[in-house]
């Protein structure tokens, strides 16, 4: 395993705030999703659904770590290769929208694990 402590891996204050905000956003959107879906909603929110907003925020968080933190441990690399594989295989599905939705969910869960593993390596 590479020694990540020799690199400039210290978290910036903005990154620390993001680590705190992401679980809060997940909790708020999960608990409020029932108010915006189904017969109780008087209008269709479409792109402004809490789930979509959460997905965009999580994607931006993952993209930041993917492109700017240069995570190079084996877990991170294998997770991101698996994500690429999942998205490529989803393209051959007859239900493309559903497959890409599920592929993004699987990738985001796996990527959050890889980010957590990376952060545990630089802080131990």
The string of pLDDT tens digits covering residues 95-105 is 988 888 888 88
Q: What is the pLDDT at residue 2? A: 52
Total domain count, the chain: 1
Asked if residue 76 is part of any domain, the answer here is: yes
Q: How far apart are CA 43 and CA 76, in angstroms?
A: 41
Asked if residue 70 is part of any domain, the answer here is: yes
Domain with 46 in it = 9-123
Per-residue tokens: 24: 């809060």
Asked if residue 96 is part of any domain, the answer here is: yes
Contact by Cβ (8 Å): 73, 107: no
Asked if residue 4 is part of any domain, the answer here is: no
Asked if residue 3 is part of any domain, the answer here is: no
Q: What is the pLDDT at residue 7? A: 54
Asked if residue 73 is part of any domain, the answer here is: yes
Residues of the chain predicted below pLDDT 70: 1-11, 13-15, 29-30, 32-49, 123-124
Q: What is the pLDDT at residue 89? A: 92
Q: Please state, as a whole number, how many other Cβ atoms lie within 10 Å of the Cβ of residue 78.
A: 12
- pTM (whole model) above 0.85: no
Q: Which of 28, 35, 26 is nearest to 105 (CA)?
A: 26
Rounded alpha-carbon distances, angstroms, from residue 64 to 29, 70, 91: 21, 9, 25
């Amino acid at each position: 395993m590479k020694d990540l402590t020799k690199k400039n891996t210290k978290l910036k204050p903005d990154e620390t705030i993001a680590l705190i905000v992401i679980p809060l956003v997940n909790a708020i959107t999960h608990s409020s999703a029932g108010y915006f879906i189904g017969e109780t909603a008087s209008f269709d929110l479409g792109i402004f659904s809490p789930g979509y907003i959460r997905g965009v925020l999580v994607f931006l968080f993952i993209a930041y770590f993917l492109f700017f933190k240069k995570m190079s441990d084996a877990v991170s690399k294998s997770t991101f290769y698996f994500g690429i594989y999942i998205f490529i295989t989803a393209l051959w599905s007859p239900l493309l929208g559903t497959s890409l939705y599920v592929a993004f969910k699987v990738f985001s869960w796996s990527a959050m694990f890889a980010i957590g593993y990376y952060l545990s390596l630089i802080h131990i």
